[in-house]
Structure 1
Amino acid sequence: MNFGPTPLEEARGAILAHTVRLTGKVLKKGTVLDEAAIAALRDAGRREVVAVRLESGDVPEDEAADRIADALMAPLVARSRAATGRVNLFAESAGLFSLDAALIERLNAVDESVTIATLPNHSVVSAKEMLATIKIIPFAVPGRVLAVVEAIARSRRSGAPGLPALAVQPFRALSVGLVLTELPGIKESVMEGAVEATDSRIRALLGTMLPVERARHEEAPVAEALGRLKRAGADLLLIAGASAVVDRRDVGPAAIVRAGGVIEHFGMPVDPGNLICLGRVGDVPALVLPGCARSPKLNGFDWVLARLFAGQKVTARDIMGMGVGGLLKEIETRPLPRAEAPRNPVVTGPPRRARTVCALVLAAGRSRRMAPLNKLLLPDNKGVPMILRVVDNVLASHASPVIVVTGHERERVEEALAGRPVLFAFAPNYADGLSASLKAGLAAVPPEAEGIMVCLGDMPLVSGVMLDRLLSAFDPEEGRAIVQPTFRGKQGNPMLWAREFLPQMLAITGDIGARHLAARHADRLVEVEMASDAVLRDFDTTESLKGLPEYAAKR
């Protein structure tokens, strides 16, 4: 193929390389120049034109794209006509798109003139969705290059000789049985959400759900429920546990074994979705779902489910091979190894997922251990009161709005925070203890808030960056409904709570906060390891203030 300026006397049959605009006429790029086109160029005063002249053995771009598309054709794959050296491939049915990635890479490595771009392997596709595009870069492909490309494209996958390079495996109309396990204290809305999310997934893959079986979160009742679903014709068995599965011998996996099945793999290198358990009862696949399957958002369970509906047998090796690309969502849960935490810098930046979280700053207490002084109003050596430092740290985070709960010396606290963009909530019965302050703050939480971060007014070392780490980890739909900071494994403050816990928090009485509720909902708790002990340090005595340089230097 020759490219470059071409005298009009030699241009007949050449391909125009760039669009030429003439008076009353446009010759588009790719036009094969005939006598009429050459005459128009000559009349416009042109003596030459930039064009491509094919040599013996060159295959024009549209013909080359056509031939490659024909070589890649497979059942349930349709194609467009060739135009400007391009052919697009489409799915004729909803299903799972699979490909031989190594083979596509070989095709793209043959010559720069041939390119093939595809969807990711194992993509769920709908009818008429584009799967791939074949594009010839220059105006022609050497015949010897095209012959090599066609031979590779017609080859079958090395690991699956029956499958072409590109394939659409249609979804089967499977009947799915779901066992929903129950524990005391689990809200009905959580159970209903798990059913709704599962049903949506099944229907999207053209399946149907059998009537849901509900059973106590115990091995025997769950095994019996699996047996009933299998006898009812289930093609796939699922267990959604009231508590997350943490071991092969946990309730869900043990129930599969008790029902006559086997466990083939536990865990997967996909996040969210790590805690999935793959087994079978006879020839029926059986899965214990990870907690994130309660959410409709993409997680590792979706990947496994799509393959099963497409008729693929999912093995332990398949699951272990899902790690590349398996980080579906960045989270901040336990980002630092505990032993290394003190030597690592705190991660900066906004939370990974925007959630509407308000912050309560509890500043109503009487400071009895420091009486007659009010610790929250004690100025440091720069004259800044402790409560102002705390509030400024909270305002530096992405929590909004910030609500300051006042009580003891209300006017002085509000005066110290004058000019700061905060809301105030007064606790008239603050003398009754911490729960009274907490309730006053919760009553002021706006209805749109998805979460409440409860901050203590005497913890001035907790920075806005640390608070944003907690916000990053918060995701009730994926089971991270309570977030608590830790330092070297020791639990600290502040804590972040999903709105679903608000009724239980409002029922607390006495001089205690809400921390004890976390023990009741351990399966909804996530801990975030911090790089310093600031989350453990509150300052409620004169002696403890000696640990704050700003105060120690003053006293």
Structure 2
Amino acid sequence: MKVLPVEESVGMILGHDITQIVPGICKGPAFRRGHIVSSGDIPVLLNIGKEHLYVFDLADGLVHEDDAAKRIAKAASGKGIVLSEPTEGKVTLTAEYDGLLKIDTTALFRLNSIKDMAFCTIHNNQTVIKGRPLAGTRIVPLVIEDESICEVEALCASYFPLIQVKPFISKKVGVITTGSEVAKGRIKDRFGPVLHKKFEKLGSTIIDQLFVSDDVEKTVAAIHSLKAAGAEVIVLTGGMSVDPDDQTPTSIRASGAREVIYGSPTFPGAMFMLAYLGDIPVLGLPGCVMYYNASIFDLVVPRILADEDVTRDDIVALGHGGFCEGCSTCRYPACGFGKGV
């Protein structure tokens, strides 16, 4: 920072607040720290008794905090991200549309390891709605060397995108409800309405729901029937526990589907199964999906509808954060459920 006559400070960055006092009327900042001095400011500054200023010179290879934040945000952002104008040196990133938030946490860690950088986000791999704030970024000082921002831009280019929102793909969903008690009409199906609501919210449509007893052969036939009908995702409900009559996992395996995992380190949702019949995801959903606002469904299905190939490691990683606290009023997704690192 250096001292210059007011008349020579045009285009430079003010290094401190300048207070204006009008007796009996006001006392407050006429210009804030970080203000870029313009020729129109000169008379005002002289009138309040300022003939010299402490300033930063952008010509010295420095970048103002506003410009730095804009460059960092632009370098990091992929599709589905809207950038705000800088406010007090910070740019906020919001969702352009509903979708699945994806953050490269390795890149994020490396970015924040660069001196004077601050880039913070909400948790990865969650459903977000249009307009939701997702992240914010700024530099710590008022100005920074251009080479530091160039370092950030190079890092983001090698990992691009650091942050994005993947849109949900509308898919045709087939549902199979197992259990003789439902198939024979002894009890009313409660799973179907829940799934209709959840899939509709994510932009997909249930094209058919079949009811079968706890019979492997009939369940396998139902799986292939839905595949032939054009289902792009097949969901089975009921029969997911270890009881001898619960044959849904056995049926999924017998259909020829490739098992990814049976059992998830999440509560609720431990008795979850994921398999792929060719490229069609086949999901075995435990009964908790009916009763809990947030469950394994909400951690996995959005990723499938964003066309992600969900792996065994993806499910195993849910163990960190996969314990629902059972709050009396559910706050999901504004909570820690499923949001490990």
TM range (shorter): 0.7 to 0.9
TM superposition shift of 1:105: 1.2
Deviation string for 1:184-212 (max 9, x for gaps)?
39997975431111111111111000221
Residue of structure 1 aligned with 2:132, choices 129, 132, 135? 129
1:205 aligns with 2:202: yes
> 1:164: how far off?
2.1
* In structure 2, distance between residues paired with 1:188 and 1:11: 87
How far is the alpha carbon of 1:261 from its aligned partner? 2.1
- Of 317, 340, 353, which aligns to 2:328? 353
Separation (CA, whole Å) in 1 of partners of 2:113 and 2:140: 14
Q: 1:120 aligns with which of 118, 123, 128?
A: 123
Work out the CA distance in 2 between the residues paired with 1:248 and 1:150. 58
- Hey, what does 1:323 align to over in structure 2? 319
Supply the distance in 1 between the matched residues of 2:50 and 2:187 (Cα, whole angstroms): 76
- Flag structure 1 segments of 5+ consecutive residues without an equivalent: 157-162, 331-351, 356-555
Q: CA deviation at 1:254?
A: 1.0
Q: What amino acid is aligned across from residue 353 of structure 1 in structure 2? A: S
Counterparts in 2 of 1:188 and 1:11: CA distance versus 1, 3 Å = farther
Which of 159, 162, 165 is the aligned partner of 1:165?
Answer: 162
TM-superposed deviation, 1:236: 0.8
- DSSP 3-state at the match of 1:63: helix
Partner of 1:273: 269
2:334 alignment counterpart: none
Bigger mean CA offset, 306-315 vs 35-44? 35-44
Matched, 1:234 2:231: yes
- Note the C-alpha offset of 1:41: 4.6
Q: 1:229 to 1:193 in 2, by over 3 A?
A: same
- Residue aligned with 1:213, SS: strand
The answer on 1:308 being equivalent to 2:283 is: no
Q: How far is 1:271 from its partner?
A: 1.6
Equivalent of residue 77 in structure 2, options 73, 77, 98: 73
Aligned-partner Cα distance in 2 for 1:323–1:203: 28
Residue identity over aligned pairs, in percent, reads: 27
Alignment correspondent of 1:217: 214
SS state at 1:301 partner: helix
Distance 1:119-1:259 versus aligned 2 partners, 3 A rule = same
Q: Which residue of 2 aligns with 1:481?
A: none
Report the secondary structure of 2:319's partner residue. coil
Distance 1:108 1:82 in 2: 19
SS of 1:145's equivalent? helix
Post-superposition offset of 1:46: 5.9
Amino acid at match of 2:281: P
| Alignment partners' CA distance in 1, 2:267 and 2:184 | 25
The whole-number CA distance in structure 2 between the counterparts of 1:290 and 1:168 is 28
Kindly state the Cα deviation for residue 75 of structure 1 after the two structures are TM-superposed: 2.9
- How many residue pairs match? The answer is 322
How far the C-alpha of 1:34 sits from its partner, in A, is: 4.7
Secondary structure in structure 1 of the residue aligned to 2:266: coil
Deviation at 1:33, TM superposition (A): 3.6
Partner SS for 2:318: coil
Task: Give CA deviations for 1:145-168 in whole Å, capped at 9, x if unaligned.
Answer: 111111111112xxxxxx622222
- Distance, in Å, in 2 between the alignment partners of 1:248 and 1:324 is 31
Shift of 1:258: 2.4
Q: Determine whether 1:61 maps to 2:76.
A: no
> C-alpha offsets along residues 42-101 of structure 1, whole Å, 9 cap, x if unaligned?
54456777x552461111122212222232232333323344323233333322111110
Counterpart residue number, 2:339: none
Aligned partner of 1:531 in structure 2 is: none
**Higher relative contact order at CA 8 Å, sep ≥6: structure 1 or structure 2?**
2
Pairing 1:492-511 to 2, within 5 Å after superposition: none
Q: Distance in 2 between matches of 1:263 and 1:139?
A: 54
Residues 9, 229 of structure 1: CA spacing in aligned structure 2 closer, same or farther, 3 A cutoff?
closer
- Provide the C-alpha distance between the structure 2 equivalents of 1:140 and 1:189, rounded to a whole number of angstroms: 71
Paired amino acid for 2:233: L
Following superposition, the deviation at residue 217 of structure 1 comes to 2.1
Which residue number in structure 2 is paired with residue 439 of structure 1?
A: none
Q: CA deviation at 1:235?
A: 0.6
How far the C-alpha of 1:37 sits from its partner, in A, is 4.2
Q: What SS does the aligned partner of 2:113 have?
A: helix
Aligned pairs for 1:28-427 within 5 A: 28-29=31-32, 30-34=34-38, 37=41, 39-44=43-48, 51-54=54-57, 56-112=60-116, 114-156=117-159, 164-184=161-181, 191-241=188-238, 243-246=239-242, 250-295=246-291, 297-330=293-326, 353=328
Residue 225 of structure 2 aligns with an amino acid whose one-letter code is: R
1:17 is aligned to 2:16:
yes
The Cα of 1:174 is off from its aligned counterpart by: 0.7
Q: Is the 8 A contact 2:183 2:211 kept in 1?
A: no
CA contact (8 A) 2:181 2:187 kept: no
Q: In structure 1, what is the equivalent of residue 338 of structure 2?
A: none
The answer on whether the counterparts of 1:97 and 1:167 sit within 8 Å (CA) in structure 2 is: yes
The code of the aligned residue for 1:326 comes to G
Tell me how far 1:238 sits from its aligned partner: 0.8
- The AA in structure 1 aligned to 2:175 is L
Counterpart residue identity of residue 230, structure 1: K
The alpha-carbon deviation at position 237 of structure 1 amounts to 0.8
Unaligned runs of 5+ in 2: 331-341
Using the size of structure 2 for normalisation, the TM-score is 0.82
1:185 to 1:89, Cα distance in 2 relative to 1, 3 A: closer
Find the aligned partners of 2:31 and 2:315 in 1 and give their Cα distance.
51
Shift of 1:14: 3.8
1:473-501: CA deviation from partner (whole Å, max 9, x where unpaired): xxxxxxxxxxxxxxxxxxxxxxxxxxxxx
Aligned-CA RMSD value: 3.2
